[in-house]
Each structure stands twice: as structure tokens, then as C-alpha cells.
Amino acid sequence: MLCFETIRVENRQLKNLSYHQARLNKTRRELWGCTNEWDLSALLEIPDLVDHNIHKCRVAYGKDIDNIKWEPYSRRTIGKIRRVYHNEIDYQYKYDNRDTLNTLFAQRGDADEILIIKNGLVTDSNYCNVAFWNGSQWLTPDSPLLPGTQRAFLLDQGVIRTAEICETDINSFSQIRLFNAMVDWANAATLDVSLIA
């Protein structure tokens, strides 16, 4: 079993590295009993092939690093979201095995993305945490499948705050925003909730 971190590289700089490092070390401690802390800034050397455009650094690891991949990043366009349901899904760690998530994503039909409902509560999309606009602030579910690094950063900055969000609450909001480590807040896809099927 492996886990992974996906780190945004912009202008040859690793973004939000402290958040990735904290999650990675917590995962290694809880899953494999590792007591040593990794310093990602020392472990990751940006190769020459990475230019000033946005790239993705993917670090797959267990007790040790399995592999590191660097590749250009291109954003997906999201125009419609489909609700999908799974009450037993467990993705509290960023597992390399995404079979259950891929099965749910396959249920999207004509939509571009999914919104996963677990036991009546809104969690995440396939690759993103989500937040909803209530007219005065952005609320992110307090029941995410995976608490993302960008989510942690935005909570620390006071840009979003957590709330219990039930599926039945969705229509009380006006917009949904999808964000993750690769999609910063300013550029995150923002849709009217009427586009959630």
C-alpha cells in the first residue's frame, strides 16, 4: 500500500510545502509507525525539465519514497457536477489506490465531476475539496473524505470555515467552489449550485 502527495510547482517553487510535509509525516507515523520526520525541501530537487509554468510533483511513498514524478499541469474544465452516493467509502489518507473513487467517478454520466455524499453528508469531489457560498461566507464540509492541504491553508487564512453540510442543504447555497493543491482558490472552478445534478 502506498500513499502520495501532489505538490503544485509554480515558477520552479514548491507551493504549500509545509502542509504537504505535515500530512505526509502524519500519514507515515499513523500507517507505518515511522518516527523520523521527512524534510521535503531537502528531499525534492526540482529537475531542469520543469520550467516556470505550473507543474505537478507527485511523490508516492510508504515507509520510504517509492517514486517521484514531475509533469506539466493542465486544468480541467468543470461545467456540471453529479451527486454520487457511498456510505462506506474511506479515504482518510491519500491512498495511491483510488479504485472506489474511480468507480464513483464512472457514475458521472454527462457531468464533468462528482460530489460524493456519505451518510447524507456532503464530502468531496473526485479530486477536490469543496466549499459553498451562503451569501456572506464560504463554508467547507466538516466531513471531508480527505482534509486537503489547500483546505488546511484556507482554513488557517480564514478564507473558509467548516460546517456540517447535509445533501439537503445544498440548495440553500448559491455557489460551489472546487479546489485542491493544484487549483488555488483564486482560480478554482466556481459553479451555480443548480449545476449539481
Domain check: are 148 and 65 in the same one?
A: no
The 3-state DSSP class for residue 84 equals strand
Per-residue model confidence as pLDDT tens for the chain (197 residues): 999 999 999 999 999 999 999 999 999 999 999 999 999 999 999 999 999 999 999 999 999 999 999 999 998 899 999 999 999 999 999 999 999 999 999 999 999 999 999 999 999 999 999 999 999 999 999 999 999 999 999 999 999 999 999 999 999 999 999 999 999 899 999 999 999 99
Q: Which amino acid is present at 88?
A: E
Domain check: are 12 and 50 in the same one?
A: yes
Sequence-separated (6 or more) residues with CB below 8 Å from residue 189: 77, 78, 177, 178, 183
Task: Output the pLDDT for position 126.
Answer: 96
Domain check: are 111 and 184 in the same one?
A: yes
The whole domain housing 7 covers 3-72
Rounded CA-CA distance 44/154 in Å is 24
**Strand extents, DSSP E, the chain:** 3-10, 13-14, 55-61, 65-72, 81-85, 113-118, 121-125, 129-133, 138-141, 160-163, 175-179, 189-192
Domain check: are 41 and 97 in the same one?
A: no
Domain check: are 35 and 67 in the same one?
A: yes
**Dihedral angle, C-alpha 121, 18, 75, 50, nearest 10 °:** -160
Domain check: are 15 and 67 in the same one?
A: yes
Domain check: are 60 and 89 in the same one?
A: no
Which of 40, 72, 104 terminates a domain? The answer is 72
Give Cα 38 to chain centroid, integer Å.
Answer: 21
Q: Domain containing 28 — which CATH number?
A: 3.30.470.10
Domain check: are 88 and 174 in the same one?
A: yes
Provide the number of structural domains found in the chain.
2
Which of 47, 72, 97 terminates a domain? The answer is 72
Which of 72, 95, 119 terminates a domain? The answer is 72
